[in-house]
Amino acid sequence: MEYTVNKLAQMSGVSGRTLRYYDQIGLLKPGRINSSGYRIYGQKEVDLLQQILFYRELEVSLEDIMKIINQPSFNPTLALKDHYNELKKKRARLDKIIATVETTISSMEGGRTMHDKEKFAGFKERLIDENEQNYGNEIREKYGDETVDASNRKLRGMSQGDYEAMTKLGEEILVLLKKAYVTGDPKSDLAQELAAKHKEWLMYSWTKYAKEAHAGLAEMYVADERFTAYYDKKVKGGAEFLRDAILVYLGMK
C-alpha cells in the first residue's frame, strides 16, 4: 500500500502539517514523489512513522529520535521490544498515580484515612523510574546495585515533609546556580552555598555520604551529556560550574 500525505495523516492521526515538517527536517522522508508532485509513503515509511510515534509517546525529542533511527545499528524489532518494556513501565507509573488519586478521593469523601506517605507514593515511584531510565546504567556501574537499591528504598520511605523539602531544595539549587554562575568564580560564597545545598539535597536519597562519591557524581555531570544537558538547559555552562564549585567545597580543587 502507498499513501499520500492526506491519507497517511488520516490513518495515523498525525496532521499533514506535521508529516511535511518531518520531511523538511529529514526525520521521515516520503518514499517517492509522484509525477504530480505529491509525497508518496510506502510500507517502510509507515513502519518508521509508527516507531517515531512510539518514541514521542515516551517523550523523546525529535532531535534524539533522529539520532536513534539514523544509527547504523538501528534495529526496528529491538526498538519495538524496548518500546514495549518502556510503555509497560509508564503504565505501571500511571497505575500508581491513579491508585493514589482514587485513595485520595475516597479519603476526602469520608472513606479510609490516607496516610501521608501514601499521598506521594506514585510521584516518588515516578521519580525513581525516571532516574533509572535516564541514568540507571551509569549510576549502577559507578556505585553498584546495592547502593542504588538502598537509595531507592530510602526515597520510597520518605515522609511527606521530606519529599516536599527535597523538591523545594532542588528548585532552590537551580535558582542559586544562576546567581552563582554570574560571579564566574566557583570559590565565591554563592558557589560554595550552592555546593553545600547540593550535598544537603543528595542526603535525602543517599544512605551515607562520602566525599569521593560526591566528587564522582560532580564529574559525571560534565562527562555524561545527559547530566550536562539538564543543568546547561537551566544555565549555559552550569554543569561545569557546579562541578567546579563542588570540588572546591570538597577541597579537591
- Topology (CATH level 3) of domain 159-253: Globin-like (1.10.490)
Number of H helices, E strands in the chain: 13, 2
In angstroms, the CA 162 to CA 21 distance is 45
**Domain-wise residue ranges, the chain:** 5-69, 75-158, 159-253
More confident residue, 114 or 132: 132
5-69: CATH topology is: Multidrug-efflux Transporter Regulator; Chain: A; Domain 2 (1.10.1660)
Give the residue among 56, 59, 32, 35 at the shortest CA–CA distance from 44.
Answer: 32
CA distance 148 to 93: 19
Q: Is-contact 123 214, C-beta < 8 A?
A: no
Query: CA neighbours within 13 Å on the CB side: how many for 237?
Result: 11
pTM of the model: 0.50
Tens digit of pLDDT for each residue in 5-53?
A: 999 999 999 999 999 999 999 999 999 999 999 999 999 999 999 999 9
* 91-122 pLDDT, tens digit each: 877 777 777 676 667 666 766 555 555 555 55
Are 197 and 169 within 8 A, CB to CB?
yes
pLDDT recorded at residue 243: 97
How far is 167 from 144, CA to CA, in rounded Å?
25
Identify the weakest region by mean pLDDT among 12-26, 32-46, 221-235, 237-251.
221-235
Task: Provide CB contacts within 8 A for 194, sequence distance 6+.
Answer: 173, 176, 177, 180, 242, 245
State residue 205's pLDDT score.
Answer: 85
**Which H or E run contains 57?**
helix 43-57
Q: What are the grid coordinates assigned to 58, written together?
A: 515516551
pLDDT value at residue 121 = 59
181 touches 188 (CB < 8 A): no
How many other CB atoms are there within 10 angstroms of residue 52's CB atom? 21
Task: Name the band, by pLDDT with cuts 50, 70 and 90, for residue 126.
Answer: low
Mean pLDDT in residue range 161-181: 91
Domains 5-69 and 159-253 equal at CATH topology level: no
Report which of residues 237 and 205 the model is more confident about. 237
Taking a C-beta distance cutoff of 8 angstroms, is the pair 20, 34 a contact? no
| Other CB atoms within 10 Å distance of the CB of residue 73 | 5
Determine what percent of the chain is predicted with pLDDT higher than 70.
85
